[in-house]
Amino acid sequence: MKTDQIAQLEPSESTGRIEAFSDGIFGVAITLLALEIGVEEYKGATDANLLTHIYELMPKYIAYINSFATVLLMWLAHHQMFRLIKKPSNGLMLANGLLLLVIALVPFPTKTVGQFIDTDAKGIAVKFYTGYFLLVNFVFLLLWTIASSKSKPLLHAFASTEIVKAVNRSILTGLLINFICFGLSFINPWLGVTTNIISWLYWMVAF
């Protein structure tokens, strides 16, 4: 479809519907994380062994909480980023589409780490998990790089150089933290996960 032609006719079209669509995908992805958690039906259930089964899911709870918190922070960052964006370009739409693609797949590394962190495969499970969030952060950086590029003025006038730099710093800090988590998971899987949890606790307080 000749986007440009149509876009010229209705210049007032802002980022509203993209934000709503993105919110929908963030919201469904974050809720689907919970689907993995449950105790399968089994014969001979007693209070004692059901309690054990509920306790044994601990790695899944941690993975769930960690992914939920991370996606929620990303939604907040996405939300604030789009408040600075005046109008979408095609490149921005595509980068946003790529972000949604990786966000929608967060349940995959989450269930992988939840299932395998208490097995001998914990090394790969955690590297995959922390590496995946590193990838998500790179896509975030790509999105912001397109949004804030000087050649195409996509930002609102109130997005001063100072604000753009603050957002840059914030994204690069996020990338660095994720890179450290990824690196630490090569030394010790639990270290990688623990650093990940500490990192979003820090973000939430520093926010």
Cβ 88 vs Cβ 18: under 8 Å: yes
Output the CA–CA distances (angstroms, integers) from residue 88 to 2, 83, 106, 154, 160, in the order listed.
Answer: 15, 12, 25, 7, 18
Q: Which of 69, 99, 136, 193 lies at the binding interface for its own copies (CB under 8 A)? A: 69
Stretch that binds its own copies, among 15-23, 134-142, 147-155, 175-183 (CB under 8 A): 15-23
**Residues in region 119-158 near its own copies by CB under 8 A:** 119-125, 128, 158
106/181 with CB nearer its own copies: 106
If one asks whether residue 9 binds its own copies (CB under 8 A), the answer comes out as yes
CB-count exposure of residue 51 (10 Å: 0-12, 13-18, 19+): exposed
Binding span for its own copies by CB under 8 A among 3-11, 134-142, 176-184, 191-199:
3-11
198 binds its own copies (CB under 8 A): no
Q: Which residues pair with 54 in a beta bridge?
A: none
Closest approach of its own copies to the CB of residue 132, in Å: 11
Burial of 202 (0-12, 13-18, 19+ CB in 10 A): exposed
Which among 28-36, 145-153, 178-186, 191-199 is the span making contact with its own copies, rule CB under 8 A?
28-36
Interface with its own copies (CB under 8 A), residue total 80
Torsion region of 44: left, alpha or beta (phi above 0 gives left; psi -120 to 50 gives alpha): left
**Considering the rule CB under 8 A, would residue 58 count as an interface residue with its own copies?**
no
**Applying CB under 8 A, which of residues 85, 107, 137, 146 lies at the interface with its own copies?**
107
Q: How many Å is the maximal CA-CA distance in the chain?
A: 68
